[in-house]
Amino acid sequence: MIFGYFFEKQCFNKRLPIGKLLLPVCLTIILLSTLFVFYLCPENGCAISALTVSQYSRYRTLSKFASFKRLSTNSNQNQANLTPNPTLAERSKKLSFEDVLSDNSSVFDIKANDVIVFLHIQKTGGTSFGRHLVKDLNLVNPCECKKGRKRCKCLRPDSNAKLWLFSRYTTGWKCGLHADWTELTNCVDSVMDESEKTVTKRRYFYITLLREPVARFLSEFRHVQRGATWKSSRHWCGGRTPTSKELPPCYTGIDWRDVTLEEFINCSHNLAVNRQTRMLADLTLVDCYNTSIKARKLRDSILLQSAKYNLNKMAFFGCSEYQKISQYLFESTFKLHFMHPFIQLNETHSSLMRDEIDENLLEKIKKINHLDIQFYEFAKQLLFERFKLMKSRDSNFEYNFSHLGNLGPNEERLLSQQNLETFPEFRILKKIERQKKKLKALKQKKNRSTLYQNKSNIEPAV
Ligand SMILES: *[C@@H]1O[C@H](CO)[C@@H](O)[C@H](O)[C@H]1NC(C)=O
Ligand SMILES: *[C@@H]1O[C@H](CO)[C@@H](O)[C@H](O)[C@H]1NC(C)=O
Ligand SMILES: *[C@@H]1O[C@H](CO)[C@@H](O)[C@H](O)[C@H]1NC(C)=O
Ligand SMILES: *[C@@H]1O[C@H](CO)[C@@H](O)[C@H](O)[C@H]1NC(C)=O
Ligand SMILES: *[C@@H]1O[C@H](CO)[C@@H](O)[C@H](O)[C@H]1NC(C)=O
Ligand SMILES: *[C@@H]1O[C@H](CO)[C@@H](O)[C@H](O)[C@H]1NC(C)=O
Ligand SMILES: *[C@@H]1O[C@H](CO)[C@@H](O)[C@H](O)[C@H]1NC(C)=O
């Protein structure tokens, strides 16, 4: 898998003149690495989806080894070309959670060449988290956020050009709107070179947020119903954007406003379906957006497996449903601290709406999002495993965990500087409060009117 990605990256790197020569070789390798998945996944789907987290690490070692072996035995005549260009191979490195824990030279160093890359999946709470990243971290050199500007400058200490955060609110959507794993891993390095005007070896720390799939799907549905399209997303994969045949739109006209839930579910190529799995998988392993080459079951199992693999390789991921644990994990992984606690919203619009949804439709949503549901189960297990590990390494856990987002002695000064309104969750909280008040007022009004009616019923008799 990793090989598939690696060679793919080399192949389609436009700045590389030998890229053209390598292309046939690379395609063979990509084919082989996907073929290898065939071997692990006999006819009736893949057994990997049933693997537990701990089994998974063993599988990973095995898979790396197996793909390596297959590569080296099957492409002998091209052996020379397969040796990666050392400067490119060593240049950028992605650090995983395991890497960060394994030795302290892998801890995020804001002063060196380390970059946090935030992969923002729609409707997972990423907007709020993204703002915490730029406005709420307790840094020697806080991000510069100017009023009225969407983006902030997040520079390394003692630098006026070097960036440590690649995200919507710092670099913008430089790799495409809501760029996925396939797009980011293929693009971040060159964008960083460009914006810093220098070619450097960097270490990347990929992070993302996940959310319970049904809630996320419903949230996306409501967003689309209000007119969101994300149609400027590029879906770059395998060196090109998909054709309109590969990725047909679900609607005609400028957007899909006022779509019903049934129509939303009915569109078989709706990108909302299994979005989290797809956005975290290496899509080059499944022929990108061309679904007619691989059988559906095989395609699905490769997607799921690849998404799990990539998630496990991320330095950090959080779950919307576990804000406190996510915050603790972020802070202990990066040794960076937020000044405010993350807020757990239990009454989001989707969950309010969920009760009103037809049981059949709800079942259908679960059925079509089966990859995301399996993926999220895996992610939750992994989250708790990481949490347990971090907890066991923190001699001051009880205190630390109960004081997340507490500012210490500078609290009041810092709080007065912070505009609480900038965090969307505060706005949502206020909205919920307003809705509650409205509902209460409405009830009281009804109460009074029935009282009045009863009185008026009685009064004429007096
Ligand atoms: C971590 O760093 C300290 C000094 O900064 C060093 O003594 C120690 O051996 C390092 N530990 C590991 C696991 O690298
Ligand atoms: C998918 O790829 C196959 C083989 O390359 C091609 O025949 C087919 O037209 C492609 N499908 C779409 C929708 O582009
Ligand atoms: C959705 O698809 C089903 C079966 O394919 C069909 O019966 C139903 O009318 C469709 N609903 C809408 C709103 O398109
Ligand atoms: C926990 O507390 C100790 C001591 O106050 C501190 O050094 C450490 O950074 C804290 N860890 C986390 C993850 O907050
Ligand atoms: C969420 O629910 C818990 C208990 O059910 C409650 O204590 C907490 O205040 C709620 N949070 C919000 C933001 O409503
Ligand atoms: C409605 O009126 C009854 C009787 O006057 C009172 O007990 C109840 O609290 C009222 N409910 C609301 C929502 O105001
Ligand atoms: C008003 O009368 C209706 C029946 O006519 C009754 O159900 C309701 O409880 C009464 N409300 C109050 C506040 O007495």
Q: pLDDT tens for residues 273-325? A: 999 999 999 999 999 999 999 999 999 999 999 999 999 999 999 999 999 99
**Residue 74: is its pLDDT beyond 60?**
no
Output the pLDDT for position 346: 63
Phi-psi region of 209 (alpha: psi -120 to 50; beta: other; left: phi over 0): beta
Domain extents in the chain: 1-91, 93-417
Cα–ligand 5 centroid distance for 440 (angstroms): 19
Q: pLDDT tens for residues 356-402? A: 788 999 999 999 999 999 999 999 999 999 999 999 999 999 999 98
Output the pLDDT for position 341: 86
**Residue 47: is its pLDDT beyond 90?**
no
Overall fold of domain 93-417: Rossmann fold (3.40.50)
Mutate to test the pocket of ligand 5, among 321, 344, 423 (most ligand atoms within 8 A of CB): 344
The residues pairing with 114 across neighbouring beta strands, listed in sequence order, are: 203
Considering only residues 51 and 163, tell me which one the structure prediction assigns the higher pLDDT: 163
Q: Are the C-beta atoms of residues 232 and 220 closer than 8 Å to each other?
A: no
What average pLDDT does the segment 209-214 reach? Answer: 96
Q: Tell me what the pLDDT averaged over the chain comes to.
A: 79
What average pLDDT does the segment 39-51 reach? Answer: 39
Our answer on whether the CB atom of 54 is closer than 6 Å to any ligand 2 atom is no
CA distances from 222 to 26, 121, 188, 348 (A): 42, 16, 31, 12
**Residue 143: is its pLDDT beyond 70?**
yes
139, two tokens: 């840094």
Give the contacts of 210 (CB within 8 A, at least 6 positions apart).
121, 124, 276, 317, 318, 319, 320, 376, 379
Q: Determine which of 158-162, 165-169, 258-262 has the lowest per-residue pLDDT on average.
A: 158-162
**What whole-number percentage of the chain has pLDDT above 70?**
71
- pLDDT band of 124, cuts 50, 70, 90: very high
Model confidence, pTM: 0.72
Considering only residues 39 and 137, tell me which one the structure prediction assigns the higher pLDDT: 137
Mutate to test the pocket of ligand 2, among 292, 296, 299 (most ligand atoms within 8 A of CB): 292
Output the pLDDT for position 449: 72
